Amino acid sequence: MGLVDDARMVAAEFEYSADDVNKGVKEFIRQMDEGLQETGKSMSQIPTYVTAVPNGTEKGVYLAVDLGGTNFRVCSIKLNGDTTFSLIQSKVAIPHELMVAKTSKELFSFLAKQIESFLKIHHSDHFEEYHQRRQNSAEITDEHFLQLGFTFSFPVHQISINKGHLIRWTKGFDITDAIGKDVCSLLQSEIDALHLPVKVAALVNDTVGTLMARSYTSPGKTGTLLGAIFGTGTNGAYVEKLEKVTKLKKMKEGGDFDASTGNMVVNTEWGSFDNEMSVLPNTPYDTALDKDSNNPGIQMFEKRVSGMFLGEVLRRAILSMIKDGRTELFKDESSGTNDVHSTCTIADDSSLYKQWGIDTSFLSIAHEDQSAGHHITRQALNRDLGVDAASSEDAQAIKILVEAIGKRSARLSAVAIGAVIISTGNLSLTAGDGREDEEDVVDIGVDGSLVEYYPGFEEYIREALREIESIGEKGEKRIRIGIAKDGSGVGAALIALVAGGREGGS
């Protein structure tokens, strides 16, 4: 058997059939419902206390700040009321000593000073007018404050739209005295100490922000159902019927929210779907990746879908073929058997031998390669992985593995999207009288490098959606998938708007 056939045998381990997709959807819906009823389940289904999504008619100027890692971003967003917006932003690196400061005050006072600097430059009139009123002891009302959405990308226990207690730090931050404290209050205290006309109106999850950003900018009057991230990680937030979020009644610290809409945006945290591995596909490469990860047995869905892990799955599949004495991957008996008339060699320090050594961008390159003799893939093998003089057959084998891994990721993504659509009943709600028009759609907002840049990712998703029994070909045509940019910026501003109760035109 030849090398290409060997590669096809390994690729077959990643096949995820129509039957698998349908079983996955049923279990996904079951775990969604379970998470809505009780805390501590595989799928967290976190209530966000956001009870409405925008429709594109909202107006006003809002602030957003994003503490997502080593940078802090401050944005000012002007919503024009016609699905368009303009954005001004500044970004500053967080000094390392503040990431590990003795007190949270040191970090949060630094953040407040960045907001002050931004206001002085970009909202000087508002800033000066507010301080003039303070000096003259004039009346100051809510209208004199800018509403701010705070994207805080660390684990928090959110108990209302603008209140959340820090569970733990990640990404190199370690400030012990902040644990258990309300991060919105910490920021507001330092803003107040500087007498800034700013109110922290909302604590924002970036996936919820993606949903809001898409709902504002999407065409037509149809609100967006789901915001989904398919990038380095994966997650989804969607609009659920409030009556289905039964665990809200059992939550001791549940905050106030506007129940009049009958809806609640829920942050699924679907990266942990089926940690029990009851329906998720598994290969020896997935098992080894999980065992050597820093969180074995956790985020099992994400480890099969997101960009952070696809390169590592590929690396382990390639290594298994190299180590298998029966396959000829990167092995030439002589230069005469290699179409570049040289023998293939792998550098001793090749990234193939290092955990996380293959970036997902390599998969995109190989997947898209239509060049003669897979020349582009061979260049990438040499440049990125230290594989010199790979033959066209070697490159074809790699492409077969890449396509299988990428396709499985997209088909699993369709399980999550399809489950949300079916569970919420939105496809039947838009069924109408069979006419195709602007309102006869289910709108999905997506963001992330996989869905935006990985070749054919959306088409693979759509192919799987057509295979889902409750969706089919007719239903798939009514699903509109659009890129939603900047959930932590414009999305956060829109959540601040909703939190302030300032609906369209105000």
Residue 423 catalytic?
A: no
Element (H, E) at 219: none
What is the SS3 assignment for 107-148? HHHHHHHHHHHHHHHHCHHHHHHHHHHHHCCCCCCHHHCEEE
Contact, 55 vs 504, CB < 8 A? yes
Q: How many CB atoms lie within 10 A of CB 113?
A: 15
Instruction: Choose, from 6, 66, 182, 206, the residue flagged as catalytic.
Output: 206
- 3-state DSSP assignment of residue 408: helix
Instruction: Choose, from 17, 86, 168, 292, the residue flagged as catalytic.
Output: 168
Q: What is the DSSP letter of 172?
A: T
Contact, 43 vs 268, CB < 8 A? yes
Cα 158 from chain centroid?
19
> How far is residue 383 from each of residues 349, 352, 437, measured CA to CA in Å?
13, 12, 49
Q: How many separate helices (H) and strands (E) can be counted in the chain? A: 18, 15
Q: Show the tokens assigned to 89.
A: 């932003």
Instruction: Choose, from 44, 90, 153, 392, the residue flagged as catalytic.
Output: 153
Q: Residues near 143 by Cβ (< 8 Å), separated by ≥ 6? A: none
Task: Look at the alpha carbons of 480, 485, 491, 493 in this order and tell me if their dihedral is positive or negative.
Answer: negative
Question: Which amino acid does the sequence have at 478?
Answer: R
Rg (CA), the chain: 25
Separation between Cα atoms, residue 212 and residue 307, nearest integer Å = 23
Please list the alpha-helical segments (H only) found in 425-471.
Answer: 426-429, 449-453, 457-467
- 3-state DSSP assignment of residue 15: coil
Q: What is the DSSP letter of 336?
A: G
Q: Scanning the structure block, which residue is given the tokens 């129940």?
A: 259
Which DSSP string do the residues of 324-387 spell out, in sequence order?
-TT--TT--SSGGGSTTSS--EE-TT-GGGSTT-S-HHHHHHHHH--SGGGHHHHHHHHHHH-E
Separation between Cα atoms, residue 487 and residue 494, nearest integer Å = 9
3-state helix, strand, coil in the chain (%, to 5): 45, 20, 35
Contact, 52 vs 239, CB < 8 A? no
Residue 153 catalytic?
A: yes
Residue 378 catalytic?
A: no
Q: Which residues are catalytic?
A: 153, 168, 206
